[in-house]
Structure 1
Amino acid sequence: MGLLALVEDRPTPKAVYNWRVYACAAVASFAACMIGYDSAFIGTTLALPSFTAEFGFKNYSPSHLALIKANIVSVYQAGAFFGSLIAYVSNWFWGRKNSLYGFAVVFMLGAGMMLGASAERGLGLIYGGRVLAGIGVGGASMIVPIYISELAPPAVRGRLVGIYELGWQIGGLVGFWINYGISKTLAPSHSQWLIPFAVQLIPGGLLLFGTFWLRESPRWLLGQGRREEALRNLTWIRQLPADHIYIVEEVSFIDAALEEQRRVLGGGFWRPFVAVARNRQTQWRFFLGGMLFLWQNGSGINAINYYSPTVFASLGITGTNTGFLTTGIFGVVKTTLTLVWLLFLIDRLGRRRLLMAGAIGGSLCMWFIGAYIKLAGVQSAKKADAKLSSGGIAAIFFFYLWTAFYTPSWNGTPWVLNSEMFDQNVRALGQASAAANNWFWNFIISRFTPQMFLTMGYGVYFFFASLMVLSVPFVYFLIPETKSVPLESMDRLFEVKPARKANKTVLAELKEQDEEFRHDVEGAGLSIVKEGKGAHLEQAMA
């Protein structure tokens, strides 16, 4: 078993791992580029001298200025929270593809509104535009992971959903560096700070036009009774004929899950809500999914993303360009490690190991940073030309080490888990809940981070370190490993106790079921014709 070896739930033809499934994931993940770009560019834009001068930031007290910055950042998260809930409605009635198109349009309208802001008009257009843009990205954040997970073969599902996280980091990388570039090359002016706002239109436009090429999820189409279209899309995505045994098995698994859904729930928009209300196991999964995003945001990542100049100033880094440069390096580290996570870790090491290792290592780094700030008294140093001490350099090292622990663990893994853990009955509602939880906790952190730094100082780092410690027993005792388990088997996975042993138990059961299925196929007068690792069905000769 090499590092890139795939753990499959059943024999899988090589054709299944084709360019189309990766391309669909990549196009849908332009939504993540929109999110990542905003999380990175807004904090450094608020620190640009041209922006602060145009809107008169120097005339405000520190507490009032912290409130304004917090409002500019957090109205976006508030819009995203409601967008993720609205997406459940559109997802139900219009499907994954059309909903994604609609939210891309809303985002583009919001991004365009922000370009009209000026000293004369005030910040109103930025506030309003960020609400609309937030609704757009909130809806997309609910739809994209579930869309990708429904298209993905189980063995590479984590990798494909991870492309969504990669898009987030690529957007963030551009956002972190763009203000450094314009601050070095352009004189302070209205156009200087307007450029970062305008760049939002690029990933939004790519998503908008890319949705015309995407195919609708076969699982959603089968649930709507559009069987012929579902089979066309599935065979197109898998690059296999409709009578291939892999397609026959996959459709039979989806049909069985849908039949179980109809038997248990019936039909209708409100039935998933009834299912959640009546089923404690489903409620438990909703709780687990939401808590994963509490721990993710409790790591401090969004405090750093949205207020990176403030964070680096607390470590003793002074000067606008120096702060932007340090922030840009942070973006490079995150993007590089996301690639490592995507290609080598998520489908090889699994979800549980990554989360626990990332939390333990990241916590130790946060404890060191907080202790350094406390002992060195960094926050009392006000000189613009102050040099970093050896302790300050060590603190910066531990900050990047924290990034190395956090990025390949808590950055994208909660999204992967939430895209997998809900059964067909409530999957769309579960993803809406997960996205709403993400944006709720994101809003809390982004809204109060400036005030936390003003009042808590070094205690902010101890706060985040403590939450990372608490996440370890949560994952160890409560989160089962979802790696390589088909979506249709998630109910069984969450039934097995203890959670840490559930993955091995379920994969062993699936292997036995696959052998029984093949025996039944041959007993029905059909033969399985081998094709490399795959096979297709043919009528047995008399």
Structure 2
Amino acid sequence: MTDMTAHLASAAEAKLPPLTDGPHRRRIGLISIVACLGGLLFGYDTGVANGAEGPMAKELGLSLLQLGVVISSLVFAAALGALIGGRLSDAIGRRKTILILALLFFFGVLLVVFSPAGPEVGTFSPVGYGVLVTGRIVLGLAVGGASTVVPVFLAELAPYEIRGSITGRNELAIVTGQLAAFVCNAIIGTVWGHIDGVWRIMFGVCALPAVALFVGMLRMPESPRWLVEKGRDDDALAVLKTVRSEDRALAELDQMEIITEEEKAEHLIGWKAILTNRWLRRIILVGIGVAMAQQLTGINSIMYYGTRVLEESGMSEQQAMLANIAFGVVAVLGGIIALRNMDRLDRRKTFILGLSLTTICHCLVGVASMLLPAGNPARPFVILVLVVAFVLSMQTFLNIAVWVWLAEVFPLHMRGLGFGISAFFGWTTNGFLALFFPTLVSGIGITGSFFLFAGIGVVALVFVWTQVPETRGRSLEALEEDVATGQIYVGIRR
């Protein structure tokens, strides 16, 4: 830990018995695998459009604007899903909410796959278009909810010593889902690309993990911290004993009960607490800024429209679809590296390093596309290498760290709400990028687009340096107390 983190550390962590190995550690691993199926679905459903959008637009006769609506409808719905999912999980529990999300994933896929086409291939059908967009909206609600609830569920179950690596598994599952989508699209497109409706097969694949998530979560426990907040202390202890040694379970329960009772005694819970406490308002604003900064790197523009960027650089459609797999591969590699470092490096350090690297990559892409004119045989491959470097930097230092930080920084009584509000603004930013990115690239080209992202990256760096507090190495209960009093901001530049 840094000197600042060590200075902030309270006696809460010191009172906890040390973490031990045993069946309880394996139980946490199993829970994380099942819950992260939500992340896998998140990744597949957001990545499948990158490769499926071309055949889909051709069969259904979609214009560029209509295609943008189909792609971005999921993202805008995800913003709403993040907000609703967070509030719902605070009300009915993390586990029940994830079960509902699994059903939404499944039925959303059915609507997309069975959306009717026009009387002839390439003719527009208003009814089919309406069903398709509805299906994408349902999937978006599920994706947004999963982006909020799954990290919170994992963070509340994990011991603070390994909370980063456990919670970060969800982001690794997301990029694995995106890689799976890219690979499946390439295989399906190569083998059955001549068949009308091949894009339906691409979308239909993710029905299977939706079923697995629902069945798996039926056997998973509820978050012990949510149970304590609802006054179900005996149930919470029973859950804790399955994922901790007995003495550690009792010690953690004691800390949870103390914090929960203090909050209830002061009648400061949820919106009322936020409106009456300037430090809680500040952490909400910082959370919004962190979520938006992540999206404004343009990472999801690449994950949604990577093939289009590569075609714009000079690749053929087939080359772009195959090369697009590289984005998924390095995203997974970056996620693996990030998990190894998540409990070793401070969150602020990873944010600053990640934003520095992604901003440099943006500048290099802009310079390369400017110096290598269209038609130069080296242009598409140089841009491919630089965009791959950007994706690797993003996944190694930013994506996992951002979702982990958001899952742990908010107090228990407003964790779902705070995460949901932050994710809402992040997804809304993502939605506007998804809607206008094709038009942006068409209007100002790769050069202007990536220089724009670079400028935003500089602003994001200043924001992180001056506003984002550290959370690594602290128990959730200790963080909760310091967030509510403003102590968490001591030591950062203002």
Q: Give yes or no for TM over 0.5.
A: yes
TM-score, length of structure 1 as denominator length: 0.83
Aligned residue among 33, 39, 47 for 1:40: 47
Shift of 1:346: 1.2
Cα pair 2:326 2:388 within 8 Å, conserved: no
The CA distance in 2 between the partners of 1:362 and 1:52, in whole Å, is 32
Q: Which residue pairs with 1:71 in the alignment?
A: 69
Report 1:364-443 matches (<5 A): 364-378=360-374, 381=375, 388-389=377-378, 391-443=379-431
Q: Distance in 2 between matches of 1:21 and 1:327?
A: 34
Output the CA distance in 1 between the equivalents of 2:381 and 2:74.
34
1:66-93 Cα deviation digits (max 9, x unpaired): 2112101111112212222222342233
Once residues 428 and 42 of structure 1 are traced to their aligned partners in structure 2, the CA distance between those partners, rounded to angstroms, is 29
Listed one character per residue, the Cα deviations across residues 405-436 of structure 1 (whole Å, up to 9, x for unaligned) are: 11111222111111111112321211211221
- Counterpart residue type for residue 492 of structure 1: D
State the secondary structure of the residue aligned to 2:101.
Answer: helix
User: Per the alignment, do residues 499 and 436 of structure 1 end up closer, same or farther by CA in structure 2, a change over 3 Å counting?
Assistant: farther
DSSP-derived class of the 2:474 partner? coil
Distance 1:67-1:280 versus aligned 2 partners, 3 A rule: same
Aligned to 1:507: none
Q: Distance in 1 between matches of 2:380 and 2:230?
A: 59
2:310·2:380 contact (CA, 8 Å) conserved in 1?
no
Q: 1:191 to 1:15 in 2, by over 3 A?
A: same
- 1:459 is aligned to 448
Q: Check conservation: 1:81, 1:439, Cα contact below 8 A.
A: yes
Residue from 456, 472, 480 that aligns with 2:469: 480
Residues 92/364 of structure 1: CA separation in 2 closer, same or farther (3 Å cut): closer
Give % identity. 27
In the TM superposition, what is the alpha-carbon distance from 1:362 to its structure 2 partner?
1.4
Partner Cα distance (1:74, 1:196) in 2: 18
Q: How do residues 189-338 of structure 1 correspond to structure 2 at under 5 angstroms?
A: 189-238=195-244, 240-241=245-246, 244=247, 246-265=248-267, 271-317=269-315, 319-338=316-335
* Structure 1 segment 100-249 matched on structure 2, within 5 A: 100-120=98-118, 122-238=128-244, 240-241=245-246, 244=247, 246-249=248-251
Q: Is 1:495 aligned with 2:487?
A: yes
- 2: CA distance between counterparts of 1:501 and 1:446? 34
User: Between Structure 1 and Structure 2, whose CA radius of gyration is higher?
Assistant: 1
2:50, 2:307 within 8 Å by CA — same for their partners in 1?
A: yes
> CA, structure 1 residues 308+496, in 2 after alignment: closer, same or farther (shift >3 Å)?
closer
Residue 88 of structure 1 corresponds to: 86
Contact 2:35 2:150 in 1 (8 A): yes
Matched AA of 2:368: Y
Structure 2 residue 25 is the aligned partner of structure 1 residue 23: no
SS at match of 1:18: helix
Deviation at 1:11, TM superposition (A): 4.3
Residue in 2 aligned with 1:449? 437
Aligned partners of 1:479, 1:499: CA distance in 2, in Å? 11
Q: Deviations over 1:486-541 (max 9, x none)?
A: 11111326414544499xxxxxxxxxxxxxxxxxxxxxxxxxxxxxxxxxxxxxxx
Deviation at 1:256, TM superposition (A): 1.0
RMSD between superposed Cα atoms in Å: 2.1
Letter in 1 for 2:41: M
The answer (yes or no) to whether the contact 2:467–2:493 under 8 Å persists in 1 is no
Gaps of 5+ in 2: 2-8, 119-124
- SS state at 2:411 partner: coil
Q: Report the Cα offset of residue 249 of structure 1.
A: 1.7
Give the secondary-structure state (helix, strand or coil) at the position aligned to 2:413. Answer: coil
Count the aligned residue pairs.
470
The amino acid that maps onto 2:80 is F
Q: Which has the higher helix share?
A: 2
Alpha-carbon contact 1:479-1:499 (below 8 Å) kept = no
Question: Post-superposition shift, 1:357?
Answer: 1.0
1:61 counterpart residue number: none
What's 1:354 paired with? Answer: 350
Shift, 1:191, TM fit: 4.4
Is residue 28–residue 243 contact of structure 2 (8 Å, CA) maintained in 1?
Answer: yes
Identify unmatched segments of 5+ residues in structure 1.
Answer: 2-6, 58-64, 382-386, 503-542
Q: Partners of 2:263 and 2:148 in 1: how far apart?
A: 21
